[in-house]
Amino acid sequence: MKLIDIPELKAAIASERTSKIRCLHKLLFDFDGDRQNRSRIREFSGFQFQPNDKDFNEKAKLIEEKLSLNELITISNLLLINNEGTKKEIVLRLLTYLCDLDILNQNIIRENDSGSDSENENEQNRKSYENLSEESVQLPVHNVYQPNISFNDIESIIMPFDGDSHQSIELFEDVVNMFNLSDLHKLVFGKRSLKGKAKLYIQSETGVNSWGKLKNLLLSEFGYSCNSAELHEMLSKRKLKDDESLEEYFLKMKQLCTRGNVEDTALMQYVINGIPDSVIRKSILYGCQNLSEFKQKLRVYEKMRFDYDKVKPNKPKFGNETKDRIKAPKIENKDKFKDTKLNNIRCFNCGALGHKSSVCENKIKGIKCFKCNKFGDHLAKDCTIKKEHSNVTVDKTTSCENLTTKIVRINDLNIVSLIDTGSQKTLIKKSIFDKIGKISELEQSNIKLSGLGNTTVKPLGIFKTKIIIDDLEFESEICVVSDSSLSFDFIVGCNVINQCTLIVSGKEIKFTKPSDNSLSDSFLINVAEVMTHEQEIDLTHIQNKEYQEKVRNLLRNYKPNKTKKIDVKMNIRLTSDIPINSSPRRFPFIEKEIINEQIEQWLKDKIIRPSTSEYSSPVVLVKKKDGSSRLCIDYRRLNKITVREHFPLPLIDDLLDRLQSANIFSTLDLKNAFFHVDIDPSSKKYTSFVTDTGQYEFNKTSFGLTNSPSVFQRYIYNVFRDLIKENVVMIYLDDLVIFSENETQGIERLQRVLKTASEYGLELNIKKCQFLKREIEFLGHRIKDGKLYASPLKIKAVMNFPEPKCTKGIRSYLGLTGYFRKFIPHYSAIAKPLSDLLKKDNNFSFGLKERESFNELKQILSKEPVLCLYNPKSETEIHTDASIDGFGACLL
């Protein structure tokens, strides 16, 4: 039985709103779907699992996570199923009925028999519709009683729209349609759900008096489109995560495919490519005709992986102990085993099975040619006898784990294809050729394709067409072969590769047009060296391909040569002559290994050297954001008696003001920045630190020393002194920002900065660098189009800040919000109740006033206030205000 066979549901599926149909489709097929949702739902014949088995429980868990309570109620109403109970109870009830549609049909018939009583009862429970107010709206009544819904309730369900998340408008419509809100309600709730730049944009528009107009304005301004290349790039980069089951991974990949038109065969290939396992073990996943079969094979494969990992033998820790326990397997019939083994042996002399070349009877006849099958004095490669057909070599090896694939487009069909420099011809499976549509007639050919093991395959035919790879068009003659002859849907051979230049970076490969001086009958493979920039830097935001290539060339040619030096060294002066020393701290075995590895690396790089100093400080391991550990030295006792350096760090507001006319930004991050500065030989003894393996001291400036930031700022300022004066670059410690009015100027300035950095031997942390961006984050601020925003990460830190329990918490909170006080009007007045708690004479009491002040600062920053960067050439007004509690001023 199918859902369409139940008359009541057939009518409901045909007439219900699209949003409700989408909810049901999401429950049944785990993705939002498309215009074919109703057709797929009609053909649904029930889940294949049984109640309370493993698949049933996993599906229930997945639905409970993905669908809200309101969506589950909507689905229950659509399927005429009781919607009472908790979220979990509704999920289990829905799944139980959908496992057996006969039971669902009987339930609907039974409910219809008692329908009149139910309608009377529902009618008594309904409430009258009230007028719309600012804070509360009562929704129109449907089949079930609906409570009053306030904006706070709606806000807890929908995702606020800030102009960045392209799915928010769609999700908002799903929610409001679920409650059957009127256009007036949609307009009110829609406007109140806006924030950030989306809110600013709508406030700048006039006449926005209907939901339709509001929606159209938002879509025209912030509409997001995902082209085919972007989608396929996302799919190729998506890999199976360690904490992710294969089913979850498959469903997420499937959901990703709904953003565009992706063939099922391409989806299956992407899923297989993203599983970190050998091709041999993944071979079970190939050859599926549809997604249902593929999903079934995924389950089998996951079970095989689990069983393999479970029985996989551990490596013995002590070879001799384990060796004595292992006994050779007992073979009862040795002769039988011997015969079987001999039958699998092939003679390398005559090619026959059953004997080795050393005992070959044909050995006296000489070597055998496997082309003409005659014994004599030549091999197949030297054979002069011409065969009837011309042979073309095709590499059919599929056991390599690092196969390189690209998306090839033929007649608007995207095909995951193998790039094979060992294949002379370009090949396609017959089933894929049939999907392409009518391009041209197949021509017969006498070509024979030879592959692994000297096997030959005759093509079904050949055709000529244009194929597109990386937005480049190539003329190609393509051989059509049977599906059983190829493991891939499409193989790009040398007849295409010879028309272009290949740029290989790691596992990525890029097709480009050959340069003018390149030979037409050859192809070039450029391997990115030094820092594998192309693998680590994303330049897809640069629309102009010429600019992209210029930036790539700058990075490819960058090497820290250090042909110049700056006479800046770390000189440590102390206020006391009494040596400071500490005993080594104890660490777990695993942490000891991390410490020893880092010390070995530092010794190798000459960052440190062995020491006999009377000074010594302990080491400590600090967790980084990515979860890895960083070895640091605890110099707190040394810092207390160190004379401070007085080279000031630049004022952040002054740096930001310099960006007022900039539109294009590049940021450089220095790798191990402090290690670029030498320590004066007389001061090295003070940097000594001790571990359980010995005592060492630094040759380069170390993290943790109180003067390291000032000394490094002096060093880096002297390196880029001229460029700073010319307003080409600005620097704050190891962060460099290159700003310009356009891309051309940006590339020219980037080249000058990189040239200077190379001359002084500066190493870049390429993963953290950005190039020719229109928006950057710098020192806790986001800069774009001459406007200044607070960093989303900083705002999140404010929003997640817990309610203070002591003066230390108050001080931390005011320090965090005070960093953005320029974004908050009347900051001093708002923060006064919290500031008063820091006075010596006041006892800590976090009451109503303090809580209101605490929450108001959060609320203001959560609205993402925006400031314009100061332009001294513009007409300026100064506005001041003062009261008994504080004073302030701002420029307009």
Q: How many CA atoms lie within 13 A of 269 on its CB side?
A: 21
CATH of domain 589-779: 3.30.70.270
| 14-28, 71-85, 180-194, 599-613: least confidently modelled range | 180-194
- What confidence score (pLDDT) does residue 397 get? 41
User: Which tokens in the block code for residue 346?
Assistant: 């092939």
- Asked whether residue 216 carries a pLDDT value surpassing 60, the answer given is yes
Read off the pLDDT of each residue in 590-612 and give the average, rounded to a whole number.
91
280-311 pLDDT, tens digit per residue, is 778 778 878 888 888 888 888 887 777 666 54
- What confidence score (pLDDT) does residue 603 get? 93
| Total Cβ atoms within 10 A of residue 28 | 19
Of the options 1.10.10.10, 3.20.20.30, 3.30.70.270, 3.40.50.12280, the CATH number for the domain spanning 787-891: 3.30.70.270
Residue 529: pLDDT band with limits 50, 70, 90: very low
Residue 185: helix, strand or coil by DSSP? helix
- Asked whether residue 589 carries a pLDDT value surpassing 90, the answer given is no
- Asked whether residue 119 carries a pLDDT value surpassing 50, the answer given is no
- Write down the number of H helices and E strands in the chain: 33, 33
- What confidence score (pLDDT) does residue 324 get? 40
- What confidence score (pLDDT) does residue 501 get? 78
Phi, psi of 163 (to 5 degrees): 95, -10
Pairing of strands 787-790, 781-784: antiparallel
Residue % of the chain over a pLDDT of 90: 12
Read off the pLDDT of each residue in 243-258 and give the average, rounded to a whole number.
84
Read off the pLDDT of each residue in 863-890 and give the average, rounded to a whole number.
72
DSSP type of residue 545: H
- Asked whether residue 384 carries a pLDDT value surpassing 70, the answer given is no
Better-predicted residue by pLDDT, 118 or 295: 295
- Asked whether residue 610 carries a pLDDT value surpassing 90, the answer given is yes
- Asked whether residue 434 carries a pLDDT value surpassing 90, the answer given is no
Residue % of the chain over a pLDDT of 70: 76
Q: How many CA atoms lie within 13 A of 590 on its CB side?
A: 2
537-563 pLDDT, tens digit per residue, is 778 888 888 888 888 888 888 888 888
- Asked whether residue 133 carries a pLDDT value surpassing 60, the answer given is no
Question: How far apart (Å, rounded) are the C-alpha atoms in residues 355 and 358?
Answer: 8
- What confidence score (pLDDT) does residue 506 get? 55
- Asked whether residue 572 carries a pLDDT value surpassing 90, the answer given is yes
| Total Cβ atoms within 10 A of residue 282 | 17
C-beta of residue 463 within 8 angstroms of C-beta of residue 437? no
Domain ranges of the chain: 7-109, 158-222, 231-308, 405-528, 589-779, 787-891
Closest CA to 144 of 213, 70, 50, 87: 70
- What confidence score (pLDDT) does residue 353 get? 63
Read off the pLDDT of each residue in 14-23 and give the average, rounded to a whole number.
85
Alpha helices in 344-479 (DSSP H): 430-436
Which residues have C-beta within 8 Å of that of residue 501, sequence separation ≥ 6? 511, 512, 513, 514, 515, 518, 523, 524, 526
Residue 486: pLDDT band with limits 50, 70, 90: confident
User: Which tokens in the block code for residue 409?
Assistant: 């487009």
630-657 pLDDT, tens digit per residue, is 899 999 999 999 999 888 778 877 788 7
C-beta of residue 564 within 8 angstroms of C-beta of residue 542? no
Mean pLDDT value across the chain = 77
- The residue type at 647: F
- The residue type at 270: Y
Better-predicted residue by pLDDT, 439 or 188: 188
- What confidence score (pLDDT) does residue 179 get? 65
Question: How far apart (Å, rounded) are the C-alpha atoms in residues 766 and 638?
Answer: 33
* CATH fold for domain 405-528: Cathepsin D, subunit A; domain 1 (2.40.70)
Better-predicted residue by pLDDT, 266 or 160: 266
- What confidence score (pLDDT) does residue 401 get? 42
- What confidence score (pLDDT) does residue 2 get? 85
- What confidence score (pLDDT) does residue 570 get? 92
- What confidence score (pLDDT) does residue 456 get? 75
| 128-142, 477-491, 509-523: least confidently modelled range | 128-142
Strongest mean pLDDT among 189-203, 551-565, 865-879: 551-565
Residue 688: pLDDT band with limits 50, 70, 90: very high
Q: Are domains 589-779 and 787-891 of this chain identical in fold?
A: yes
- Asked whether residue 261 carries a pLDDT value surpassing 60, the answer given is yes
Residue 187: pLDDT band with limits 50, 70, 90: confident
Read off the pLDDT of each residue in 507-525 and give the average, rounded to a whole number.
52
443-459 pLDDT, tens digit per residue, is 887 777 876 445 678 88
Question: How far apart (Å, rounded) are the C-alpha atoms in residues 347 and 339?
Answer: 15
Question: How far apart (Å, rounded) are the C-alpha atoms in residues 691 and 618?
Answer: 7
Which residues have C-beta within 8 Å of that of residue 709, sequence separation ≥ 6? 649, 733
C-beta of residue 270 within 8 angstroms of C-beta of residue 416? yes
Concatenate the DSSP letters of all residues of 468-526 into one string. Answer: EETTEEEEEEEEEE-GGG-SSSEEE-HHHHTTSEEEEETTEEEEEPPPTTS-TT---EE
DSSP type of residue 693: T
Concatenate the DSSP letters of all residues of 306-370 into one string. Answer: HHHHHHPPPPPSSHHHHHHH--PPP-S-HHHHHHHHHHT-B-TTT--BSS-GGG-GGGGG-EEET
- Asked whether residue 677 carries a pLDDT value surpassing 50, the answer given is yes
792-850 pLDDT, tens digit per residue, is 888 888 888 888 888 888 888 888 888 878 788 888 888 888 888 888 777 888 888 88
Residue 749: pLDDT band with limits 50, 70, 90: very high
DSSP type of residue 283: G
Concatenate the DSSP letters of all residues of 240-266 into one string. Answer: --TT--HHHHHHHHHHHHTTS---HHH
- Asked whether residue 29 carries a pLDDT value surpassing 50, the answer given is yes
